């Protein structure tokens, strides 16, 4: 199967890329004076100037050096050898051309490190299968699971097969596709800090790559304390000798500014920034991807996107289950680090950033960093924390957070937090951005709510009364479940009288689009394979995010602030309402007609 015949959407970006990423990539690939040389040869990036032919750049980039026809007057070739970027000579170019005569000559090897774990089984293998089913994976690919657990290939396949689903339901031959997919999955058992074990993996990968140009993706689905060991061994013993090597890193990226910086330093001893794909799976969610489209491609929204028209913005995450089974991990992090500092803050940055120069990853990430750096560090008086307690309902006893055996009996770790954040720039001066995240609440939901100011004057005072803010427009972007975008408007109730109500202009995805929405991990894995970095977190974004939260986290811990208890399955601590009302805000999700 050739790429031209892929069912996979061939251009996932509606607009051509900006002409500029080349220069930035050069900078990223160049070594800083203090960076030690890369342990192996990281080879070749090709950067094209804008031309009609690279309109489908995401597909082109899937094979980078292997797929782009040589055209010296239009393209800059870069060779990155021992960390040093230099132009490729004509002779090199001929070698490269020979090496890359056809895309059939390249292959992608995906190694899931921590393949025996929960995330690998629950998300990564199913996402890879979905990509395979959609013909989004290249013709030549191999998937390796790597972990310490002893397992044969057959055992891995058996385990993986239990989690694969034919999500794309109306298609036939799903079980045949599953068999084909599983035949391309293999397993290698090894230690995470053994270069020797990674060299064995390298040998096996080479056998599968069969002399083709090899591109390698490592997905670190492991606890963060072993990230550096793995990156060291993989880069020394199992990185690609002639194609790209990329590493997807799962959160948490540290616990605070210092540990995050240390992790980044550790990773950068073996990788350059461009090879590091820090994943935040909320950025791969359909409605989060759509945020920029909604805002920047609709005249009815973009001019309203500022303090002039927006009264407050709410970012809400809630789960109707507790931390059961993950208490050990969670207790070390808490809800602020688990959800707010990453998922909700990333959404906020996308929501509030200025218009980027283009849709290029660096342009978008530059704007996100700017807005994050314009934010006021969080203060204790603008934060409420909570922890769920046991609750009995309908004869069922729901456990308290502290009932988890892996959680210390006196833990003060918050399972709920609400916060008011502010962006001190011209666009958002004075507008509260309210965040709320909690476990074991009454519902599962993630949404963005934008409450607009009231229309000046009070023409309809007989209908609205004096509380004009009750009758403002509200835009709701429901990320999950049941994806939707709806706008609350004031409307005349049909009839001879003049009575108003609030009704929704509703874009309900299930009703509007027949296609099933891909899982966030599918989009992100495909992006990493294609080298598209837009939805991954750059290190300066991460620094800015930690700078906002670190002082607060330290203060909470040093002062041993006790969380307000709330019953399992409730709407959370009352303190969250007081916090919102301090800024004249009502949580939109708690109103009677949300």
Ligand X SMILES: NC(=O)C1=CN([C@@H]2O[C@H](COP(=O)(O)OP(=O)(O)OC[C@H]3O[C@@H](n4cnc5c(N)ncnc54)[C@H](OP(=O)(O)O)[C@@H]3O)[C@@H](O)[C@H]2O)C=CC1
Could you list the active site residues? 343
Q: Which is nearer to ligand LXAUTJHC, 145 or 322 (CB)?
A: 322
Q: Which residue has the tokens 């607060």?
A: 552
Contact indicator for 490, 472 with CB cutoff of 8 Å? no
Q: d(Cα 394, Cα 416) in Å, to the nearest integer?
A: 24
CA dihedral 277, 283, 284, 288 (to 10 degrees): -160
Q: Which is nearer to ligand LXAUTJHC, 238 or 446 (CB)?
A: 446
Q: d(Cα 414, Cα 118) in Å, to the nearest integer?
A: 23
Q: x/- string (CB under 6 A) for ligand X, residues 78-117?
A: ------------------------------------x-xx
Question: Tokens in use for 436?
Answer: 């709320």
Q: x/- string (CB under 6 A) for ligand LXAUTJHC, residues 269-308?
A: ------------x---------------------------
**Interface segment toward ligand X; rule CB under 6 A; list 13-21, 92-100, 118-126, 466-474:** 118-126
Which does residue 429 touch among ligand X, ligand LXAUTJHC, none (CB within 5 to 8 A, set by kind)? none
Q: d(Cα 9, Cα 134) in Å, to the nearest integer?
A: 9
Q: x/- string (CB under 6 A) for ligand LXAUTJHC, residues 23-52?
A: ------------------------------
In whole angstroms, how far apart are CA 434 and each of 33, 243, 437, 580? 42, 45, 10, 7
Which does residue 117 touch among ligand X, ligand LXAUTJHC, none (CB within 5 to 8 A, set by kind)? ligand X
Binder of ligand X out of 147, 350, 369, 556 (CB under 6 A): 147
Q: Which is nearer to ligand X, 186 or 422 (CB)?
A: 186
Q: Which of residues 483-542 bind ligand X (CB under 6 A)?
A: none
Q: Which is nearer to ligand X, 222 or 542 (CB)?
A: 222
Least Cα distance to 378 among 555, 575, 548, 582 occurs for: 548
Which does residue 224 touch among ligand X, ligand LXAUTJHC, none (CB within 5 to 8 A, set by kind)? ligand X
Q: Which is nearer to ligand X, 193 or 429 (CB)?
A: 193
Contact indicator for 190, 200 with CB cutoff of 8 Å? yes
Q: d(Cα 181, Cα 387) in Å, to the nearest integer?
A: 43
Residue 441 DSSP SS3: strand
Chain mean position to CA 529: 15
The distance of closest approach from Cβ of residue 190 to ligand LXAUTJHC in the complex, given in angstroms and rounded to an integer, is 26
Largest CA distance in the chain: 83
Q: Determine what percent of the chain falls in helix, strand and coil, rounding each to the nearest 5.
A: 40, 20, 40
Q: d(Cα 92, Cα 81) in Å, to the nearest integer?
A: 13
Q: d(Cα 335, Cα 503) in Å, to the nearest integer?
A: 34
The distance of closest approach from Cβ of residue 399 to ligand X in the complex, given in angstroms and rounded to an integer, is 20
Q: d(Cα 541, Cα 531) in Å, to the nearest integer?
A: 19
Chain mean position to CA 400: 30
Task: Give me the half-sphere count of Cα atoms (radius 13 Å) on the Cβ side of residue 348.
Answer: 35
The distance of closest approach from Cβ of residue 406 to ligand X in the complex, given in angstroms and rounded to an integer, is 12
Which does residue 116 touch among ligand X, ligand LXAUTJHC, none (CB within 5 to 8 A, set by kind)? ligand X
The distance of closest approach from Cβ of residue 264 to ligand X in the complex, given in angstroms and rounded to an integer, is 16
Strand-pairing partners, residue 312, are 451
Contact indicator for 146, 190 with CB cutoff of 8 Å? yes
Which does residue 112 touch among ligand X, ligand LXAUTJHC, none (CB within 5 to 8 A, set by kind)? none
Question: Tokens in use for 510?
Answer: 């299930």
Q: Which is nearer to ligand LXAUTJHC, 418 or 446 (CB)?
A: 446
Which does residue 338 touch among ligand X, ligand LXAUTJHC, none (CB within 5 to 8 A, set by kind)? ligand LXAUTJHC
How many binding residues for ligand LXAUTJHC (CB under 6 A)?
Answer: 4
Strand-pairing partners, residue 448, are 315, 477
Binder of ligand X out of 35, 72, 118, 308 (CB under 6 A): 118
Q: Which of residues 218-247 bind ligand X (CB under 6 A)?
A: 221-224, 226
Q: Is the dihedral of CA 18, 19, 24, 25 positive or negative?
A: positive
Burial of residue 294 (number of CB atoms within 10 Å: 0-12, 13-18, 19+): middle
Closest residue to bound ligand X by CB: 117
The distance of closest approach from Cβ of residue 56 to ligand X in the complex, given in angstroms and rounded to an integer, is 32
Q: Residue 338, interface with ligand LXAUTJHC (CB under 6 A)?
A: yes
Q: Which of residues 80-109 bind ligand LXAUTJHC (CB under 6 A)?
A: none
The distance of closest approach from Cβ of residue 535 to ligand LXAUTJHC in the complex, given in angstroms and rounded to an integer, is 14
Q: d(Cα 588, Cα 576) in Å, to the nearest integer?
A: 12
The distance of closest approach from Cβ of residue 412 to ligand LXAUTJHC in the complex, given in angstroms and rounded to an integer, is 18
Q: d(Cα 514, Cα 537) in Å, to the nearest integer?
A: 31
Q: Residue 404, interface with ligand LXAUTJHC (CB under 6 A)?
A: no
Which does residue 119 touch among ligand X, ligand LXAUTJHC, none (CB within 5 to 8 A, set by kind)? ligand X
How many binding residues for ligand X (CB under 6 A)?
Answer: 18
Question: Tokens in use for 114?
Answer: 């921590």
Q: d(Cα 141, Cα 212) in Å, to the nearest integer?
A: 11
Q: Residue 447, interface with ligand LXAUTJHC (CB under 6 A)?
A: no
The distance of closest approach from Cβ of residue 341 to ligand X in the complex, given in angstroms and rounded to an integer, is 13
Closest residue to bound ligand LXAUTJHC by CB: 338
DSSP string, 229-253: HHHHHHHHHSS-SSS-EEEEEPSP-
**Interacting residues toward ligand LXAUTJHC by CB under 6 A:** 281, 319, 338, 446
**Interacting residues toward ligand X by CB under 6 A:** 114, 116-120, 147-149, 192, 221-224, 226, 250-252
């Amino acid at each position: 199967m050739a790429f031209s015949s892929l069912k996979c959407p061939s251009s996932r970006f509606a607009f051509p890329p900006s002409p500029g990423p080349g220069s930035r990539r050069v900078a990223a690939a160049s070594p800083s004076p203090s960076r030690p040389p890369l342990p192996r040869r990281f080879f070749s990036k090709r950067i094209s100037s804008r031309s009609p032919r690279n309109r489908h750049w995401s597909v082109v980039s899937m094979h980078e050096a292997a797929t782009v026809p040589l055209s010296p007057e239009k393209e800059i070739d870069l060779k990155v050898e021992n960390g040093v970027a230099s132009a490729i000579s004509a002779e090199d170019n001929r070698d490269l051309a020979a090496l890359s005569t056809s895309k059939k000559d390249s292959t992608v090897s995906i190694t899931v490190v921590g393949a025996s774990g929960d995330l690998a089984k629950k998300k990564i293998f199913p996402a890879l299968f979905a990509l395979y089913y959609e013909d989004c994976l290249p013709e030549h690919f191999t998937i390796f699971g790597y972990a310490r657990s002893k397992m044969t290939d057959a055992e891995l396949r058996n385990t993986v097969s239990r989690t694969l689903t034919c999500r794309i339901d109306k298609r036939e031959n799903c079980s045949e596709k599953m068999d084909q997919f599983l035949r391309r999955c293999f397993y290698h058992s090894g230690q995470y800090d053994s270069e020797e074990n990674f060299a064995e993996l390298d040998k096996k990968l080479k056998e599968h790559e069969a002399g083709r140009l090899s591109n390698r993706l490592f997905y670190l689905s492991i606890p963060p304390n072993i990230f550096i060991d793995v990156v060291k061994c993989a880069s020394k013993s199992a990185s690609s000798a002639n194609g790209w090597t990329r590493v997807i890193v799962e959160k948490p990226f540290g616990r605070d500014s210092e540990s995050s910086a240390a992790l980044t330093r550790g990773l950068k001893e073996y990788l350059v920034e461009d090879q590091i794909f820090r994943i935040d799976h909320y950025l791969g969610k359909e409605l989060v991807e759509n945020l920029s489209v909604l805002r920047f491609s609709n005249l009815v929204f973009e001019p309203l996107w500022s303090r002039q028209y927006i009264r407050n913005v709410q970012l809400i995450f809630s789960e109707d289950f507790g931390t059961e089974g993950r208490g050990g991990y969670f207790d070390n992090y808490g809800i602020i680090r688990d959800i707010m500092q990453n998922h909700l803050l990333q959404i906020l940055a996308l929501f509030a950033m200025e218009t980027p120069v283009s849709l290029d990853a660096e342009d978008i990430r530059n704007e996100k960093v700017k807005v994050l750096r314009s934010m006021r560090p969080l203060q204790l008086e603008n934060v409420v924390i909570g922890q769920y307690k046991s609750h009995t309902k309908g004869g069922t006893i729901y456990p308290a957070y502290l009932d988890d055996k892996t959680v210390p009996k006196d833990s003060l770790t918050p399972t709920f937090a609400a916060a008011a954040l502010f962006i001190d720039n011209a666009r958002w001066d004075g507008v509260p951005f309210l965040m709320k995240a909690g476990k074991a609440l009454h519902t599962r939901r993630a949404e963005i709510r934008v409450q607009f100011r009231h229309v000046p004057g009070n023409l309809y005072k007989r209908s609205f009364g004096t509380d004009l803010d009750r009758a403002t427009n509200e835009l709701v972007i429901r990320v999950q479940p049941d994806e939707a975008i709806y706008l609350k408007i004031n409307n005349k109730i049909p009839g001879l009288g003049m009575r108003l109500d609030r009704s929704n202009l509703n874009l309900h995805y299930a009703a509007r689009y027949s296609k099933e929405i891909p899982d966030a991990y599918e989009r992100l894995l495909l992006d990493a394979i294609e080298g598209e970095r837009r939805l991954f977190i750059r290190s300066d974004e991460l620094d800015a995010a930690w700078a906002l939260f670190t002082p607060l986290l330290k203060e909470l811990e040093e002062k041993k602030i006790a969380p307000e208890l709330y019953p399992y399955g409730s709407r959370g601590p009352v303190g969250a309402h007081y916090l919102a009302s301090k800024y004249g805000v009502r949580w939109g999700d708690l109103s009677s007609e949300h």
